[in-house]
Structure 1
Amino acid sequence: MTRAAASRTATLVAVVLSIVSGIGALTLDLTVLPTHPEPPLSSGWSGVLPGVAMLVPGALLLWRLPWHPIAVVLTLFGVLWIVDGLAAAAVNYAWYFDQGAWWAPPAFWFFSRFGAVLIFPIVLLLLLFPDGRLRGGVWRIVSIAAIVLGLVLPFAFLFSPAEALSLDNDDRADLLAAFEPALPTLPLPLGVWLALLAAAVPCLGLGLFLALIVCVSRRFGATPVEKAQLRWLVWSALIFLVALVFVFPNVPTGLVDLLLGVTIGLVSASVVVAVTRYRLYAIDRLLSWTLVYGLLICGIVLVDVLIVLAIGSAIDDRVAMLLAVVAVTIAYAPLRGSLYAIASRLVSGRRGDPYAVVSSLGERLDRAPDARAQLAELAAAVAEAFGSRSVQVELDRPGGEAMVAIYGTPIADAAEVPIDHRGEIIGRILIEAGRRPVVSTRDQRLLGDLVRLAAASVRSAELGRALQAGREKLVLAREEERSRLRRELHDGLGPLLAGVKLRLETARNLAERDPARSLALVDAAIDDQSDVIGEIRRIVQDLRPPALDDLGLLGALDQQAARLSGGGMVVTVTGAVPPDLPPAVEVAAFRIASEALVNAHKHSGAARVEVELGEEDGMLRLEVSDDGRGLAAAGSTGVGLHSQRERAAELGGTLEVSSRKGEGTVIRVLLPLRSDTARQEVVADVG
């Protein structure tokens, strides 16, 4: 039989045994309790309830994780709890109906003595989480001390003499006299046994406390997910410890049985969450309400005590109690809300009120003067919302260094959350896990909302900055172009035209006196005029290549290809262009292609270069590919390629370069045939 098969067989045996024992216990309860509502021992259901709370998660774990130590502990002690309930119900039945029954002494021994071990699994669960092994180093010593302290109670009840157990307890003395089996005990003085019995429960509480400390110590060096799992287990174990020390000794036995089942169920469920790594981390509200109701209960008790002490002696006790109820009722509702807000803030930062977090961030972003200040506000808002000491926000900027805002001190192992804006990753958030890590779906949804809100605002601010920079650049370019034209007209055309004018005036003055010299000056003026025409053509060609007007884009590129072909390189131009190509797009495509061809001719060593034109989704597509040596590295682009990208970006287009060393280069350009406004107007007309 395989290990998994043996584990599942043991699981089935445990479940069957528990079902039989549970049915037996409840059947005996139904026989005894209707006529004897206060039996000498706890009812059978009081053992079945915590037993089921441990058995169900334990059996699920044992079936899924063969012989996992934590699964074995839960399953084994779940069965023992249910059998303990059967033993208690059996003793109650024998007490009233058949005190001579053969099964009554072993059932009484199991309940009254062996049953003392049933709290011990809580200590084991805290110490063995999550891998089923004790911690090493000094924590192993603490773990062993917790185990020893937890075993004081079972040891005292298993081996102490009946005299020690029955001292000052007449009901137990009668039961011991009727059902105690004749088993040997350890020969220790009665005083020692009494001391052990007196110290048993405090030792158990101290053992639980040490086990809880060991469990909490696992948080150091744990991942955010493991820390979240530990929060469940620590929270439930703390409730159990508080109930064991402060609640159980002061409430009726029936209520103790009920609370014991509930608290053990909480611990067992928390262990399942931790071991199986289910993403059930919505524990914030439980933690917050635990704090709130703990403080409220303390406040209610304090109000009762103060009223009774202050005026209890002067008025009837019932009136004092009524006043206490009225005072508590008046203060309860508003105090609960305020306490919950404070507790939620302590437990999980401001994430407990996501609307307030988002609203606060929106106001901060509105007040921030620029994108850098908005990033700083986003970092601060995320830190406050998630109780983190370190948040770093990075925003990628095209063609430049990333913009960074830091809250707190950066750390090396921060979790990274991408900033997505309209399907594009524009940056990232590096966040340190705070008092509670960002793991639940609700947390991630809140963080996503914060990121989207800030991304839209920051991107708008960046686009505004880029737009302003673009306007300034256009103004500067326009003024530089005007200055260039002025210089060329003044320094180039101006002197040429002045010289022509001077020759013509001189020729007119010499026309009557020296006709031959006058004609020579006219001929010289005609030659100068040719230089003027050539200068004008040069200036015009710089503004817009004449070939575009004479031949169109394809013809102009064919002309460039013919001029650059040769020396072992062949350039071909293929494809088609849409009619009525916008002049700006036509010039940009010609300039980009010409620059690419010149680069290929000078640097690539290619034997073949292909230029392809076409239309794609309302965009002019231009591809220039060669079979040359390719770019040496991704970052080895020069000024020419940078200017090509700028030409494409000025029209709202894109330019992509793909190249591998020794495999050639492909430059792919997309230029919009219409502006965004024109495309929107077309879509509106179609609609």
Structure 2
Amino acid sequence: MSHEGGARTVRPWLAAALAALGVAEALITVVGVLVTGLSFAAARDSFLISNATIGTVCALCGGLIAAYRPRNALGWLLLGVAVAQTATAAVTPWLARAIVAGDPRAVTWTATVYSAAWPWAVGLFLPLALLVFPDGRLPGRARWLLVPVVANGVAQVLAFSADPYPLAPVAGFAPGQVAPAWSVLAIRGVDVGVPAAITNAVLAATYLAGVVTLVVRYRRGDERTRQQVLWPLLAAVVVVVVIAGTRAVWSVAAPGTGFPVISTLAVALVPVAITIAVLRYRLLDIRLLWSRAVTYLVLTAALVATYVAVVEVVTRLLGPADGLASSVAATVVVAAAFNPFRVRLQRRVDTLFYGDRSDPVRAVASVTEHLATGADRPRDVLPAVCQALRLPWAALAVDGEPAGEAGARPALVEVFPLRHAGRTVGELRVGVRSGQARLDPSDRAVLELMALPIGVALHADTLSAAVQRSRQEIVAAREEERRRLRRDLHDGLASVLTGVAFQADTVVTLADADDRTRIAELGEDIRSGVTGALADVRRLINELHPSALHELGLVEAVRRHAQRLTRGDPAPLAFALVQDADGEVGELPAAVEVAAYRILVEALTNVARHARATRAEVDIRCTDGELVVGVRDDGPGDGAGWTAGVGLASMRERAEELGGLLCAAPTPTGGRVEARLPLARVAA
């Protein structure tokens, strides 16, 4: 078995053994209290209840983390806290009994365990847990802290071991009431006041460094790390508020009676929060917990402070006898200030965790401003969407295909359609925050508002991309047409003219020899070649711009083409120009004229080939800044011949290239093709 495999086998058993040791020490504590008859007040003031509770919770939490995440040092550090805290709790009843009984040997050993066990938890294991949270590894820049933290942990043990009265907070065990209980580790005859103050200051700095490390991890971490960090931070805030609040109230309600030790039970929330963060950080919406907890903790503290301050002021003004007046005045002030203060405080806290969802105008304005100033493409606004609502992920999709994203995609995603002019142009997809099953209605309302400017921007971007593609296609088509013309000129006209040149040289040579017969033959060949070259040139010129349009105009050119179609034998198709537009159409832009001619020629050709019609009517007119051209026939109207093919596609492309529309469909009385080509847009 490899060392790694052996370690994997040993770790679960070791974790279970350490957790069982912590729980066993807690049970020994209970037995010791029952056997020695230690009073509840003594158990409370000697930190026995707090140490036993915190140690038991750390044993359970550390055991879970070490079992499921054995490579994470947090589980093992919490197990260290458990063993150290509960060891102190386990010997507390026996230390009290030994001091009362005056047994020097028992006092020495119980005082040694009492003073040397719990400082390891407070001075070493907990600070390290804060520094390595949540992955169990020290950040690269914080590794230098390991040496001073370990050294200060040892110093803490020595400092507390030098205290000759470890149970001084317990009534009847203060200095002068009992004999000193010296630890084996105590250095007697040396004033440890200054070293103790120094080590306590270093300990405070260590905890501060741990909190700073958590804040840095939150700011630089991904969505998962931020979710994890919020759990112990919330527990720490609750602990601080509970301990400080109870101490403040205690000092007012029972001045001079000391510190309310029982409030330290709140520390047990920290290992619970660490365990949830490591194993199930998505258990609840931690942001919502933060929002509500911080709001009501701060609100409660502020109202209590206000109440105490008003009572104090009124008592000083009216005298201590009028307690009812001071209470009534304080109640009125607190009642009047409660709701406005709560609303403002809740808004501030919600903004911290949920962004501007309580202020839709501000949220939409931030996105709109980003679109107007800093976003070259719609997808560039996605980070602003995430920031505005503190969302983990946002993305755009067009026709079901991704068009950009920001953040890390979570398991749950909600989709918002992006519309422009009543038409869906894309989708805005956003990730649901960890711990939430769905977005809050206020989130949805803000995102629906954001979808409006994003939809407009996405539509504009789509149009811009389409224009760019059209430009590229136009350039490609132009170059392709130039290549074809070059090939035709090279293979046709250039070859013919080269041959004509050689034949002309031969004619000159034969003329010198007076070979009239051969000269006549070459003359015929030259005439035939030149005639063919002229035909090729006319064909190319006609393809570039129909010569009939140049010579006759649109209406007459269409009439000539229709007459050619109706001269067949037999000639079943009769042609009619419904509206003779001579003098009404006037001069047209070249592009419109060519497109109209090509569409009408193709439509008439289709009628002659496929419509089984006896009559075709052509309509050409200008109306409302458009040239309207159409062909109607009296075919059977059963849809035969209307399958989309090259001809229909070509007509539609010619119309759309100019920003126009083409309608082609069978009718109950035959078939109809109509194109509307704008004049002003092309002329501009």
TM-score normalized with structure 1 length: 0.57
User: Does residue 285 of structure 2 align to residue 275 of structure 1?
Assistant: no
Is the deviation greater in 297-306 or in 76-85?
297-306
Q: Are the aligned partners of 1:393 and 1:429 in contact in 2 as well (CA < 8 Å)?
A: yes
- 1:270-309 CA distance string (max 9 Å, x none): 3223333632462223333444322541353244235423
- Distance in 2 separating the partners of 1:457 and 1:415: 24
User: Does residue 436 of structure 2 align to residue 441 of structure 1?
Assistant: yes
Q: Secondary structure at the match of 2:135?
A: coil
Q: Secondary structure at the match of 2:139?
A: coil
Paired residue type of 1:60? L
Is the deviation greater in 243-252 or in 116-125?
243-252
Q: Which has the larger radius of gyration?
A: 2
Alignment match, 2:136: 132
1:157–1:251 CA distance, 2 compared to 1 (3 A): farther
1:167–1:227 CA distance, 2 compared to 1 (3 A): closer
TM-score normalized with structure 2 length: 0.57
Paired residue type of 1:194? G
1:381–1:151 CA distance, 2 compared to 1 (3 A): same
Q: Are the aligned partners of 2:239 and 2:266 in contact in 1 as well (CA < 8 Å)?
A: no
Paired residue type of 2:110? A
- Distance in 1 separating the partners of 2:166 and 2:360: 62
User: Does residue 122 of structure 2 align to residue 66 of structure 1?
Assistant: no
Deviation at 1:3, TM superposition (A): 1.5
Alignment match, 1:228: 227
- Report the number of matched residues: 504
User: Does residue 164 of structure 2 align to residue 108 of structure 1?
Assistant: no
- 1:178-204 CA distance string (max 9 Å, x none): 7545x25336732xx022334554443
Q: Are the aligned partners of 1:47 and 1:84 in contact in 2 as well (CA < 8 Å)?
A: yes
1:249–1:105 CA distance, 2 compared to 1 (3 A): farther
User: Does residue 209 of structure 2 align to residue 153 of structure 1?
Assistant: no
1:54–1:392 CA distance, 2 compared to 1 (3 A): closer
- 1:613-641 CA distance string (max 9 Å, x none): xxxxxxxxxxxxxxxxxxxxxxxxxx999
1:215–1:66 CA distance, 2 compared to 1 (3 A): same
Deviation at 1:64, TM superposition (A): 1.2
Deviation at 1:455, TM superposition (A): 5.7
User: Does residue 312 of structure 2 align to residue 308 of structure 1?
Assistant: yes
Deviation at 1:148, TM superposition (A): 4.9
- Distance in 1 separating the partners of 2:642 and 2:566: 32
- Aligned Cα RMSD in Å? 5.9
- Distance in 1 separating the partners of 2:60 and 2:197: 34
1:495–1:312 CA distance, 2 compared to 1 (3 A): closer
Q: Secondary structure at the match of 2:140?
A: coil
Paired residue type of 2:217? R
- Distance in 2 separating the partners of 1:241 and 1:106: 34
Alignment match, 2:329: 323
User: Does residue 644 of structure 2 align to residue 589 of structure 1?
Assistant: yes
Alignment match, 1:189: 190
Q: Are the aligned partners of 1:142 and 1:214 in contact in 2 as well (CA < 8 Å)?
A: no
Q: How does 1:507-522 map to 2 (within 5 A)?
A: none
Alignment match, 1:336: 342
- Distance in 2 separating the partners of 1:164 and 1:20: 24
- Distance in 1 separating the partners of 2:138 and 2:448: 45
- 1:129-188 CA distance string (max 9 Å, x none): 233332223x33456555555654333112x2638998999824468737545x253367
1:102–1:4 CA distance, 2 compared to 1 (3 A): farther
1:241–1:210 CA distance, 2 compared to 1 (3 A): farther
Alignment match, 1:345: 351
Candidates 75, 81, 95, aligned match of 1:77 = 81
1:463–1:544 CA distance, 2 compared to 1 (3 A): farther
Paired residue type of 2:187? L
- 1:66-118 CA distance string (max 9 Å, x none): 2532111101211222232222233345566x664975543333224432333
Deviation at 1:349, TM superposition (A): 1.5
- 1:4-35 CA distance string (max 9 Å, x none): 33122122222332333222322443566686
Q: Are the aligned partners of 2:81 and 2:126 in contact in 1 as well (CA < 8 Å)?
A: no
- Distance in 2 separating the partners of 1:398 and 1:2: 51
Deviation at 1:550, TM superposition (A): 5.8
Deviation at 1:57, TM superposition (A): 1.4
- Distance in 2 separating the partners of 1:212 and 1:527: 94
Aligned residues with identical type, % of pairs = 15
Q: How does 1:221-620 map to 2 (within 5 A)?
A: 221-240=220-239, 251=250, 256-263=260-267, 265-276=268-279, 278-280=281-283, 282-292=285-295, 293-309=297-313, 311-316=315-320, 318-319=323-324, 320-351=326-357, 357=360, 382=385, 385-386=388-389, 396=398, 414-415=407-408, 420=415, 427=426, 438-441=433-436, 490-493=556-559, 536=575, 542=604, 544=606, 549=611, 583=639, 587-591=642-646
Candidates 5, 10, 19, aligned match of 2:9 = 5
Q: Secondary structure at the match of 1:218?
A: helix
1:279–1:465 CA distance, 2 compared to 1 (3 A): closer
- Distance in 2 separating the partners of 1:644 and 1:55: 79
1:90–1:588 CA distance, 2 compared to 1 (3 A): farther
1:274–1:143 CA distance, 2 compared to 1 (3 A): farther
Paired residue type of 2:160? F
- Distance in 2 separating the partners of 1:18 and 1:527: 107
1:4–1:414 CA distance, 2 compared to 1 (3 A): closer
Is the deviation greater in 160-169 or in 32-41?
160-169
Candidates 164, 171, 195, aligned match of 2:173 = 171
- Distance in 1 separating the partners of 2:294 and 2:90: 37
1:172–1:397 CA distance, 2 compared to 1 (3 A): same
Q: Are the aligned partners of 1:492 and 1:535 in contact in 2 as well (CA < 8 Å)?
A: no
Deviation at 1:438, TM superposition (A): 4.6
Alignment match, 2:586: none
1:106–1:346 CA distance, 2 compared to 1 (3 A): same
- 1:509-554 CA distance string (max 9 Å, x none): xxxxxxxxxxxxxxxxx99787987795995854755665569xxx
Q: Are the aligned partners of 2:415 and 2:429 in contact in 1 as well (CA < 8 Å)?
A: no
1:177–1:66 CA distance, 2 compared to 1 (3 A): same
User: Does residue 164 of structure 2 align to residue 162 of structure 1?
Assistant: yes
1:80–1:413 CA distance, 2 compared to 1 (3 A): same
Alignment match, 1:14: 18
- Distance in 2 separating the partners of 1:531 and 1:179: 132
Q: Are the aligned partners of 1:232 and 1:274 in contact in 2 as well (CA < 8 Å)?
A: yes
Q: Are the aligned partners of 1:29 and 1:43 in contact in 2 as well (CA < 8 Å)?
A: no
Alignment match, 1:636: none
Q: Secondary structure at the match of 2:179?
A: helix
Deviation at 1:267, TM superposition (A): 1.9
- Distance in 2 separating the partners of 1:195 and 1:167: 21
Q: Secondary structure at the match of 1:50?
A: helix
1:443–1:257 CA distance, 2 compared to 1 (3 A): farther
Deviation at 1:256, TM superposition (A): 4.6
- Distance in 2 separating the partners of 1:310 and 1:332: 20
Q: Are the aligned partners of 2:356 and 2:363 in contact in 1 as well (CA < 8 Å)?
A: no
- Distance in 2 separating the partners of 1:166 and 1:243: 24
- Distance in 2 separating the partners of 1:2 and 1:35: 47
- Distance in 1 separating the partners of 2:652 and 2:556: 33
Q: Secondary structure at the match of 2:91?
A: helix
1:291–1:12 CA distance, 2 compared to 1 (3 A): closer
Unpaired segments of 5 or more residues in structure 1? 405-411, 470-483, 501-525, 552-579, 596-638, 653-687
- Distance in 2 separating the partners of 1:67 and 1:170: 47
Deviation at 1:422, TM superposition (A): 7.8
- Distance in 2 separating the partners of 1:136 and 1:463: 47
Unpaired segments of 5 or more residues in structure 2? 252-256, 467-548, 577-599, 614-635, 664-684
Paired residue type of 2:95? V
Q: Secondary structure at the match of 1:589?
A: coil
